[in-house]
Amino acid sequence: MSVALGTTRPLPVRTTPVRDPGNLIAGLPRTAPYAWVRHGEGLVGWGEAARADVPPGPGRFAWAREWLANVFAGARVDDEVGSPGSGPVAFGTFTFDENAPGSTLVVPQAVLARRDGRAWLTTIGDPPLETFTPLIDPGRISYGDGSLSAPQWEHVVASAARRIREGELEKVVLARDLLATAEHPIDVRLLLLRLARRYPECYAFSVAGLVGATPELLIRRTGQEIESLVLAGTTPRGTGPADDLARGRALLASAKDRHEHECAIASVRQTLAPLCSALRTPDEPELLVLPNVQHLASHVTGRLADGASVLDVVAAMHPTAAVGGTPTATAIEVIRELEGMDRAGYAGPVGWIDAHGDGEWGIALRSAIVEGRRARLFAGGGIMGDSDPSAELAEAQAKFRVMQYALEG
């Protein structure tokens, strides 16, 4: 299903400066909120001016680009701000597997943005008057196994590690799911508020039922400048400062995790180099310390050579080695064979794009699909030849805690 802005007549799009709203998430209406917020800055939206269910298949990003071009062309824009994220904006989520349905693009009727000391509101047509309703606590949360139990998933990890040792591939990223049922309907706004407060370094997002807080920036485009944050290699936080420091040092010294990280960096470098006139990758990773885990992290920056939009770069980069594996094609086949589940939007691209091709897209990690009283949580990790199944299970459980905290508070 798709609806374009200009199907009957060009709809007016107006962007005007507004007073700083403070907390972007706090004023969202309950119905279908859209969000991309980090350190209190970003964009939130509500209502639907246009929506597309993107057909699955290898041409899905090309289809999405064409649909967006038609949508944005059918708008009469009055933009007093002229900044990335002003004018009409589309929020999007793409499934991890190109053959899986569920990729969605939405142009909200209203978008409130806050960045670099400025704030603005974009409206399309006459958006409905939305009133704030009190947040609803989901109450008691119960959990159940997803597609595989913990012992079954450990067996899958052991099988993958054996195939890596036998030389079939170098690395594969395996995920598992956990089912949560709440006493009351789950209020996405409450999840977003908790995530933004607890994990300010991450991007708290909500698009078409997919909600989470990802630490991994797939790509940011501002004009011709691009930036990516590559994460690969993880350890849980310690029991205290000394243990925390020791775990961080061990992670930096871990041959397994450093190799996993280098696979991810090489994947990004190989993908971005043809698109860029300049590309800079660091020689050594640094530690990204989050409330639940520590990651090896590398900031990649560059300049686009041909004016590609942010979605063009997303299409070229997904899936990265950080969420798929190395070599990519073999890793995807192993994932399809071993995981025993549909990842849906988990580990797929999620973010926003404006009419100028600027935008920010992350990898949908630390996330859940929310529907009514139920949520399906996802977590995973990179598997190497020497991976220990019990350690990989512990890492996945540590990553589940992000969404468990959002649900339980």
**Residues designated as active site:** 171, 216
The gap between the terminal CA atoms of the chain, to the nearest Å, is 36
Place of tokens 């871990």: 254
Type of residue found at 338: L
Dihedral of alpha carbons 325, 326, 332, 337, sign:
negative
Closest CA to 409 of 204, 214, 190, 180: 190
- Mapping DSSP to helix (H, G, I), strand (E, B) and coil, where does residue 184 land? coil
- Mapping DSSP to helix (H, G, I), strand (E, B) and coil, where does residue 400 land? helix
Show the tokens assigned to 34.
């859209």
Place of tokens 């009133």: 131
Helices (H) and strands (E) in the chain, counts: 8, 23
**Surface-to-core class of residue 19, CB atoms within 10 Å of its CB (0-12 exposed, 13-18 middle, 19+ buried):** exposed
Query: Can you say whether residue 366 is alpha, beta or left, with left for phi > 0 and alpha for psi between -120 and 50 degrees?
Result: left
Closest CA to 325 of 315, 316, 334, 338: 334
Task: Please state whether the peptide bond connecting residue 319 to the residue before it is cis, i.e. omega within 30 degrees of 0.
Answer: yes
Q: Can you list the alpha helix ranges (DSSP code H) found in 166-298?
A: 188-198, 241-253, 255-272
Residue-wise DSSP of 110-136: EEEEEETTEEEEEEESSPPP-------
Closest CA to 303 of 232, 360, 228: 228
Please enumerate in sequence order all residues whose Cβ is within 8 A of that of 4, keeping only pairs 6 or more positions apart, or say none: 50, 67, 70, 71, 74
